[in-house]
């Protein structure tokens, strides 16, 4: 059976946004979700900014048939998140994420770092997808060796500050219980 993921602009990483380059067309999760639920007759999975008990209950109340959670798992011990990425997520920098094309050539949301600040997150200086990552690789590797994420993609959504180093199994069980508690 087909399902559709309603990914709001809060979401970390690359976006499900292919028909236009106009990023102003993106909606927040809780604006997009009920409109998609109304527009289609297949189950809709909510994504973007979710990861707390209250948020999955709210997504369910708005008609979601499930949730897709990314950022909330990034600090789990089971995640393969790099050391510089974990450090950024655990720091005050996690409060500021932005959509950038600098790291891959396609828009994706991550913690704002030096490269994004100095070039501008949507700078056209970066080559088109998928060529942007290669020229950046030596600089990124050198910085990471020195413990710096200044030139690394630090993918994360707008709820990055809610992300903790909790165990992935515990987090999944907790979110599933919260989802069930919203069963009306």
Ligand X SMILES: Cc1cc2nc3c(=O)[nH]c(=O)nc-3n(C[C@H](O)[C@H](O)[C@H](O)COP(=O)(O)O)c2cc1C
**What residues line the site for ligand X (CB under 6 A)?**
7, 10-14, 16, 47-51, 68-72, 155-157, 159
Report d(CA 7, CA 170) in Å as an integer.
24
First to last CA, the chain: 24
Q: Which is nearer to ligand X, 74 or 125 (CB)?
A: 74
**Do the Cβ atoms of 74 and 56 come closer than 8 Å?**
no
Report d(CA 116, CA 94) in Å as an integer.
14
Question: Pick from 13, 12, 163: which is nearest to 89 by CA?
Answer: 163
Q: Which is nearer to ligand X, 13 or 43 (CB)?
A: 13
The HSE-up count of residue 72 (CA atoms within 13 Å, CB side) is 22
Q: Which is nearer to ligand X, 100 or 125 (CB)?
A: 100
Q: Which is nearer to ligand X, 125 or 175 (CB)?
A: 175
Residue 41 has a CB neighbour count (10 Å cut-off) of 6
Question: Pick from 46, 8, 49: which is nearest to 26 by CA?
Answer: 8
What size, in residues, is the chain?
Answer: 184
Q: How far is the CB of 29 from ligand X (least distance, A)?
A: 8
Residue with smallest beta-carbon separation from ligand X: 70
Q: How far is the CB of 61 from ligand X (least distance, A)?
A: 18
Q: Which residue in the block uniquely carries the two structure tokens 């209950």?
A: 57
Q: How far is the CB of 118 from ligand X (least distance, A)?
A: 23
Q: How far is the CB of 147 from ligand X (least distance, A)?
A: 20
Q: Which is nearer to ligand X, 37 or 59 (CB)?
A: 59
Helix (H) / strand (E) element for 14: namely: strand 13-14
Q: How far is the CB of 180 from ligand X (least distance, A)?
A: 20
Q: Which is nearer to ligand X, 125 or 160 (CB)?
A: 160
Q: How far is the CB of 153 from ligand X (least distance, A)?
A: 8
């Amino acid at each position: 059976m087909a399902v559709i993921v309603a990914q709001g602009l809060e979401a970390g990483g690359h976006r499900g946004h292919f028909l236009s380059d106009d990023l102003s067309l993106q909606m927040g999760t809780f604006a997009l979700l009920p409109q998609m639920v109304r527009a289609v007759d297949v189950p809709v999975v909510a994504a973007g900014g979710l990861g707390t008990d209250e948020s999955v209950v709210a997504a369910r109340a708005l008609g979601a048939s499930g949730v897709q959670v990314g950022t909330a798992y990034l600090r789990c011990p089971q995640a393969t998140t790099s050391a510089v990425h974990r450090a950024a997520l655990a720091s005050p920098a996690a409060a500021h994420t932005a959509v950038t094309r600098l790291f891959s050539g396609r828009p994706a949301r991550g913690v704002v770092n030096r490269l994004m600040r100095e070039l501008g997150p949507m700078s056209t200086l970066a080559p088109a997808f998928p060529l942007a990552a290669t020229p950046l690789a030596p600089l990124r590797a050198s910085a990471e060796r020195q413990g710096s994420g200044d030139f690394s993609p630090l993918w994360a959504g707008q709820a990055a500050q809610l992300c903790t180093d909790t165990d992935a199994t515990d987090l999944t069980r907790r979110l599933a219980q919260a989802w069930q508690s919203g069963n009306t």
